[in-house]
Structure formats: structure tokens, C-alpha cells
Amino acid sequence: MKVINVDLGERSYPIYIDFDLLANSEIICQHIKSKQVLVLTNETIAPLYLERLLVSLSAYQVQTLVLPDGEQYKTIDTVTTIFDSFLENQYGRNATLIALGGGVVGDMGGFAAACFQRGVPFIQVPTTLLAQVDSSVGGKTGVNHPLGKNMIGAFYQPECVVVDTQVLKTLDDRQLSAGLAEVIKYGLIRDPDFFSWLEQNMPALRARDYAALSYAIERCCLAKAQIVAEDEKEAGVRAILNLGHTFGHAIESGSGYGVYLHGEAVAIGCCQAADLSRRLGYLSASDVERIIAIFQRAGLPTKPPKNLSTDDYLAFMGRDKKNIDGHIHLILLAKIGWAELPVTVDIDTLVATLENYGAV
């Protein structure tokens, strides 16, 4: 088993990565300090993995809450149903919430845990590649708003993250590719050797070679743990984890949540960020081509929907969390393996990128 520590002083926690970890009750139980446990999952994951987790939790008083599946349910209304469940079961401040699922379940579970009685412990058990390499680590929790993605939320760290790589066998190919978008992001922002490794190993990753997948998960979690330890609340370097996300969030919100998967929107957004970086003199044309090629080889879209206008993009991007005093700030690439901290972009150049990508 690989263990990576997220070093945050008294809020430090381990990320455990191994095959068949759900069946390892010792690992998860050492982080539960109460009798009362609420397991949060969704209707797709429950029939696949809930029972296996419940066997590991047999020593506890466990309630389960099975949510509807989909990004469109990542709302404040759904989070209210989690509060209902805590209250109906008379759970107290020491109850532990376990989020078993992808980024949607994890983000909502973490947010509910942050808010219920001003904070109860929670554990992330991520079941998608995207959640295993990104969303379960670092304590960003929250929900979407119709006017903007992840607009309501809190920084709230889990007690531990339990990554069972075996669960990836039931993930469909589209979701696996969506996870690869965030994996590629790590290569782009700070790790050129990993980017080259991904270019070599993309067929193995897509064929679910578990050695390759485990290596990629470990490398991404290590990178995320380091960045989060340096800048937990995104006052600086953590912002580079948002490469492509400002474009991507506009695509997700503008198309209607769930039409584009988060990873798909990030893939397109990274290509748009690369185009903008080239226009502003940061990135070479050959690097832009390499970036588009790797996303294509990961089975991801690299062009946005045609129904988003420049005004639509600018409206959504104008509400991004990185903006300062109403000015859009974006992460640009200086080269493959190096992202710059957010810079204010010139709107005309941004519009040129949007138009190059079909916006009218």
C-alpha cells in the first residue's frame, strides 16, 4: 500500500492507495472516532460497492443515504437531504460522514460535513479516477449554482482519503477519460517528465493496466498534496490546479450541468488556455499541438460546443473565483510542465481565443 501525507499541521491526513482497500476495515476504522456513521453514496455506486464498505464498518451504528446520480444534483437542495438524514437519525457532532463516490458525492459530502453542527469529521472514499487523483484531496467542498460552478462551498479537510484502485474496473470508458483530463493537467502545470510518461503510457492507462493507473494516481496525489500543503486556501500556487477550469466551468454551466463531464470540459478548457497562452507569447505552437494531441489520445473532446457565444463565456468567466475587482484572471502555460500564477488577461486576446474555438 502507498501512503501519502497531506501536511497541514493539526489537520494533516493520509491518502491510502491500494487495490481492494474497501475490504481493509483496519485502515478506515482507525480514522472513525464515533459510533455513529453516515455513509453517503449514489444510486449507481450503492449496488456496486456499498455492501463491501458496510462489511468493513460492522462495528458501527451506520445509516446510509443514497443520492440521485448526476452533476445536476450537486445542489444546495441535495445537501439539505444530507442534513435531514443526520437530524432524523439524531446524529451528533462526533458522527462521521463517509463519502463513497465520485467528485459529486465527495464535494457534497464534504460540504455537508463542514456545515452540520459547524463541522463533523468526514472520510473520502473516491470511486472515479477523477476523484482519486483530484477532488477527494485538498478539502475543496461545495455545490453548483445555476449561475456558476462550485460557487457555494467551504474548505474542509477530510480525516483520510481511501483510494481503492480496484473500483476503477466498473468505471465506463467515458468516465475514465474524464479522469485522465485531470491527470494530464498535473503534467502540464508542474511535471514535464510525467507529461512525457503520459504520452508514452496513454494506451496502457486507457486499457486499465493497474500498474500504470496506480503509478499515475500516486504521482497526482503527491503533486496535489504538495501544492495543498503549500497553499491550502488558494492564496497563491494552488490556483494552478485550475488550469483550463475557467473555460471549462463556463462550458459546464453554459451547456447545462451534466451535458459535458467535468473532465471533458477541463480538457477543452486546457486547449483553450494553451491557445491563449500562445497568443500572449507564453507558449510555442508546437507545445499547443502536443497538448491537443494528448487530450485526443486520452479519448477527450478538444473543441467546445457551438452554442456558447462570446458573451456567454465572458458572463460565466466574469464570475470566476480567481477574479480580482471584476477582472478575469486565468492560468497560462509558459511551457509544458510550467503554469504561471493567475494573470489578468487582455479581453481582446481572450475573445480571439474564444472565436478561434467557435464562439460568435
- How far apart, in whole angstroms, are the C-alpha atoms of residue 270 and residue 304? 11
- Does 104 sit near ligand NAD (CB under 6 A)? yes
- Does 150 sit near ligand GLY (CB under 6 A)? no
Q: Could you give the string, one character per residue 61-80, with x where binding to ligand NAD holds by CB under 6 A and - elsewhere?
A: --------x-x--x------
Classified as helix, coil or strand, 301 is coil
Q: Which residue in the set 56, 96, 150, 272 belongs to the binding site for ligand NAD (CB under 6 A)? A: 150
Pick what 242 binds: ligand GLY, ligand NAD, none; C-beta below 5 to 8 Å, kind-dependent: ligand GLY
Q: How far is the CB of 74 from ligand NAD (least distance, A)?
A: 5
Residue 190 is a catalytic residue: no
- Does 268 sit near ligand GLY (CB under 6 A)? no
The stretch near ligand GLY (CB under 6 A) out of 92-100, 149-157, 236-244, 254-262 is: 236-244
Pick from 137, 123, 214, 133: nearest CA to 180:
133
Q: Which residue of the set 185, 219, 238, 279 is catalytic?
A: 238
Q: ∠ CA(262), CA(102), CA(192), 5° rounding?
A: 60
Q: What is the CA radius of gyration of the chain?
A: 20
Say if CB 302 and CB 267 are below 8 A apart. Answer: yes
Task: Find where cell 503549500 sits.
Answer: 230
Helix or strand holding residue 262 (H, E): helix 262-279
Residue 262 is a catalytic residue: yes
Count of residues in the chain: 360
- How many residues bind ligand GLY (CB under 6 A)? The answer is 6
Question: Cβ of 181: how many Cβ atoms within 10 Å?
Answer: 29
Residue 140 is a catalytic residue: yes
- How far apart, in whole angstroms, are the C-alpha atoms of residue 210 and residue 189? 24
Query: Which residue number, 6 or 37, has a Cβ lying nearer to ligand GLY?
Result: 6
Pick from 157, 110, 95, 164: nearest CA to 132:
164
Pick what 101 binds: ligand GLY, ligand NAD, none; C-beta below 5 to 8 Å, kind-dependent: ligand NAD
- How far apart, in whole angstroms, are the C-alpha atoms of residue 280 and residue 285? 12
Q: Which residue of the set 149, 224, 279, 319 is catalytic?
A: 224
Q: Which residues are catalytic?
A: 118, 140, 182, 224, 234, 238, 242, 245, 249, 262
Interface with ligand GLY by CB under 6 A: which residues? 134, 138, 140, 238, 241-242
Interface with ligand NAD by CB under 6 A: which residues? 42, 44-45, 48, 69, 71, 74, 101-105, 107, 127-128, 130-131, 134-135, 138, 140, 150, 167, 170-171, 175, 178, 262-263
